[in-house]
Structure 1
Amino acid sequence: MTISPGKKREKIDRLSELAARDDERGVSLWQEAFRRLRGNPAAIVGAIILLIFLLVAVIGPFLVPYAATDTIGIREGLIRPGVIPGPTGEHWFGYDHQGRDEFSRMIVGARQTLLVGVVSTLIGLAIGALIGGVSGAAAGLGGRWGRWIDTTLMRFIDMLLAMPSLLLAVSIAALLGASLTTVMIAVGVVSVPVFARLLRGSMISQANSDYVLAATSLGVKKSKIALTHVVPNSLAPVIVQATLTLATAIIEAAALSFLGLGNPDTAVPEWGVMLADAQQYLGIRPSLAIYPAIAIIITALGFTLLGEAMREALDPKLRK
C-alpha cells in the first residue's frame, strides 16, 4: 500500500509541528516544581493561608483599632469578677480578662508567633545544616578520617533523637529560664537532628553521583566538590523540611508558652501565651482560648499543606 505525496507532506508537517511544540527550553528543578505546585490544590490552599498569615503579621499591627496593651474594659468599668464582655460592633472578639481588645491582640500576636517560628527554624536549620554538611562531606568524600568524624557527629545526633522532642525543649527552656528567646532556642535545638540527618543523607546520595566521579577524576579538590556541587544539589529536601518545621515550631512554641516557659510579660501578645492565660477563664469566656487555638491550627495547617506539596513536587519518587 503506497501513500500519496500529499498525505506524506501532511504527515511530515504534523510531525514537524509536534516536534516544534515539544522543543521547549529546558527547565530547572525549581521551575518544574513551581509548575507542579501551581496545579496542586493543597499547595494553593496552603499558600493562600500563609499569604494571609504573613500579611496579618507584617501589616496588621499598624492597622489595629486599639493598642494591644490598652486596658479599655477596665477603664470603662466593663470588666468585673465573673464578667468578661463578648464581641460587640466596636470590639469584634470582645475583651480579654484585663479589658484589652482581643481582636487587636490576635493581630499583633501573629507577628510574635511568626517571629518565634521563623527564628527557631533558622536556628535549627543553621546548626543542623552545619553538622549534617560536615558529616555528609566527611562520610561521602573524606576517607577513613571522614568516616570517624561522621560517626562521632551522628552519635551526638542520635542522642538528641533519643529524647522526646517536647521533653528536650522543656528541659532546655527550664535551664535557660522563661523568655521568648528561650522558646526560640529550645524549639530550634529540637529541630537540629532532623536537618542534620536529612542533609547528611542527601549529601551521601549525591556523593555517589556521576558528576562527583567526573570531577574527582579531573583532579578537583574534594572540599570544592562538596561546597560547590554536592551541598547545593542536596538542599532541596532540606528547604522542604524547613517549611514543615515551621508548622511544628509554632505548635511547640505555643506548647512551651502554655506550660509557662514563654514570655513572662503577658502584656506582649503571643498566641501561645494568650492560650495559656485563657485557661482560667474557660467557664466565663471559652472563646478567649478558641481564638488563638484556631489561629495556631490554621497557620500550622498552611505550612504543612505547602510543605507536603513541595516535597511531592521536588521528589521524583512522590510525583504523581
Structure 2
Amino acid sequence: MSSNQGGLDKAKLFSSKELEIATDQFNGNRILGCGGQGMVYKGMLSDGRIVAVKKSKTINEGYLEQFINEIFILSQIDHRNIVKLLGCCLETEVPLLVYEFIPNGTLSHLIHDQNEEYPRSWDIRLRVATEIASAISYLHSSASISIYHRDIKSSNILLDEKFRAKVSDFGTSRSINIDQTHLTTQVLGTFGYLDPEYFQSSQFTEKSDVYSFGVVIVELLTGKMAISTFGLQERRGLVSYFMLSMEENHLLDIVDAEIWKDGQKEEVVAVAQLAKRCLNLDGRYRPTMKEVAMELERLRTRQGDCIPIDQLKQVEVVVKKSAESWDFTSFSTEHYPNCNMTSTSESDVHPLMLESSFEQDL
C-alpha cells in the first residue's frame, strides 16, 4: 500500500471511528447493496457529504487482495462515467472503501424492475450505452495505465441523479503493461456475460470486455436479463436468443416494446448490428471499445443519417456454428476446475463480486 505503487497516495485515509459514525455503526437500515465480496452502506461524513462505504462480509486473503486492487485501480483513473473512490480505511483487517454516493441504483434495476418512474426511452438507453462505452474505452486506451475491467455487466453500472452511467466494481480488474495483449488467469466471470474465447482459453483480452459490453447492449435493446426464460423454453442465455433472432431477421420481434414508442427504428437496427459485432465468437473480429464508443456517439448525436447497416459490418470469419454456441448456461464447471462463475438473477444487485479467491496472473 506504499505510495510508490503509483496513485495509492492519492486515496484519502478515513478512520474506522469516522466511518462507524457515518454509517450509524453499519446499521442494517443503511445497506445499499450486498454481493459476494461485501456490503455497501450509505453514510454521511462530518462535512455533510453522502457516501457509499464498502465493507467485507468476511475476512480472508482473497477479499483483502480484491479490496487493495480496487484502491490501486480507482486511485489512478478519473473519468466522469467511472465511480469515484474518495478514500479508504486501513485500520480494519480488510480495508473499508469509501465512494461517491450514486443515488439511482444500477442499470440492471433500470432495465428489469417494474418501476414505472424509471425513464426507459430509447434516448436514455442509447445515452447510457454511449457513456459506458466511453468509460471502458478510456480504461483500455486513455488511462495512465491500460486496464481490463473483467466484470462488465448491468448490475455493475450505477446511475446518478440524472441517470448518467457510472462503471463500478474494480475488484477483479487488472492493469496491463504496454507490451501485453492478454492476461492468462483462472477463469472468472458471470454467466451470460462471459467471453466464450476466455472461457475456453483462460486468456482475457480487451475484446473480452467488448463481448461483455455487447451483452449489456442486448439487455438495453430487449429489456431481458442475461439469463432469461423465453416463452415455454428453459432458461437460456440472452446472447444465443439474440443471435438466433438476428440470423432469422426477427430483431423487431425481440426489441423492448417501449423502444418503439420513440420510433427510432434505424438507430435501433444500427445498435443491434453493433452488438452483433461485439458478440462475434472470434475476438479478432470484434471492434475495439474505442470504435464502439465512437459509433454510439455518432448515432446518439445524430450527425447525419444513420450509417447503412452493410457499412457497419467488418469482414467476418464464417463460423459454422449454431446460435447455441453462445449459450453457456448449460456448461458445468465441474469439468473446468479453474472456472468460477456467478449467475445473474433478480438478486444480482450492486455490488456483486465474484465469490472466489483472488486469482494470480501467470
- Relative to the length of structure 1, the TM-score reads 0.25
Which structure carries more strand by proportion?
Answer: 2
Between structure 1 and structure 2, the one with the greater Rg is 1
The structure whose RCO (Cα within 8 Å, separation 6+) is larger is 1
Which structure carries more helix by proportion?
Answer: 1
